Amino acid sequence: MKVPLFPLRTVLYPGGPLPLRIFEARYLDMVCECLKNEHPFGVLLIRQGDEVGFATTFEVGTLAAIRDWYQGSDGLLGITAIGGERFRLLASERRPNGLYVGEVEVLPERAGQELPEEYRPLAQILAGVLDDLGLLYQALDGRYDDAAWVGYRFAEILPISPEEKQCCLETDDPVERLRIVRKVLHEVRGADVN
């Protein structure tokens, strides 16, 4: 599967929201093409380089589908994308306009693994936090009994480094991701989240 790639300094997770302001011609063209053909684009964390020039990325990323778009008061295009399936980048090329296009392989996801009882307190904390985060999370279907969904939502909102967020994305086991999240919560909040 070939998709346009959007290297960013952020990690997108399956089911998660991604607000973007688009100003570069290569990405304006990409958004138009994705909207016209109802195709996703791939989001990858930048390993080296920057968002507006040359960049090397991690190999595991997330497909993104554009859910909404608008023109901001500053004239820039704004979009909100939602994370879809995780993928592994097999090969990529940089086109003359600077847009990266990659050959990707979709990674299998453990579907609907129930949240283990020991992690139920995490779901309760998450529900309160997401309620406080406003519009960006209001449109998401809350799946507080799904181990993968709870782990992904925590990983995207926790104040951890991009590399730690990438580690959570690359972790295949939803329960292992929850273990990582609980450990970080203990460190960040000193929370009692057995």
Q: What confidence category does residue 189 fall into, taking pLDDT thresholds of 50, 70 and 90? A: low
| pLDDT for residue 193 is more than 70 | no
How many CB atoms neighbour CB 170 within 10 A? 16
In a domain, 194, yes or no: no
What does the pLDDT read at residue 186?
Answer: 84
Compute the average pLDDT of residues 119-142. Answer: 88
Using the 3D structure, point to which of 41, 71, 106 is the last residue of a domain: 106
Q: Which residue has the tokens 């089911």?
A: 15
Cβ–Cβ < 8 Å for 148, 174 = yes
- CA 75 to the chain's CA centroid: 26
What does the pLDDT read at residue 178?
Answer: 95
> Are residues 97 and 44 located together in one domain of the fold?
yes
> Are residues 152 and 60 located together in one domain of the fold?
no
More confident residue, 136 or 79: 79
How many CB atoms neighbour CB 96 within 10 A? 6
User: Considering the entire predicted model, what is its pTM?
Assistant: 0.92
| pLDDT for residue 192 is more than 90 | no
For 16-45, the three-class secondary structure string (H helix, E strand, C coil) is: CEEEEEECCHHHHHHHHHHHHHCCCEEEEE
Compute the average pLDDT of residues 18-43. Answer: 95
Q: Can you give the CATH number for the domain in which 88 is found?
A: 2.30.130.40
Hey, which of 16-20, 49-53, 70-74, 188-192 has the most confident mean pLDDT?
Answer: 16-20
What does the pLDDT read at residue 141?
Answer: 83
What does the pLDDT read at residue 22?
Answer: 95
Domain that residue 49 falls in: 2-106
Lowest mean pLDDT among 42-51, 68-77, 135-144, 160-169: 135-144
How many structural domains compose the chain? Answer: 2
Measured CA to CA, the distance from residue 8 to residue 156 in angstroms comes to 14
> Are residues 77 and 138 located together in one domain of the fold?
no
Q: Can you give the CATH number for the domain in which 133 is found?
A: 1.20.58.1480
In a domain, 156, yes or no: yes
In a domain, 111, yes or no: no
pLDDT more than 90, % of the chain = 76
Using the 3D structure, point to which of 54, 72, 106 is the last residue of a domain: 106
Predicted confidence (pLDDT) per residue in 86-112, tens digit: 999 999 999 999 999 999 999 998 777
In a domain, 112, yes or no: no
| pLDDT for residue 130 is more than 70 | yes
- pLDDT averaged over every residue in the chain: 92
> Are residues 86 and 134 located together in one domain of the fold?
no
What does the pLDDT read at residue 190?
Answer: 60
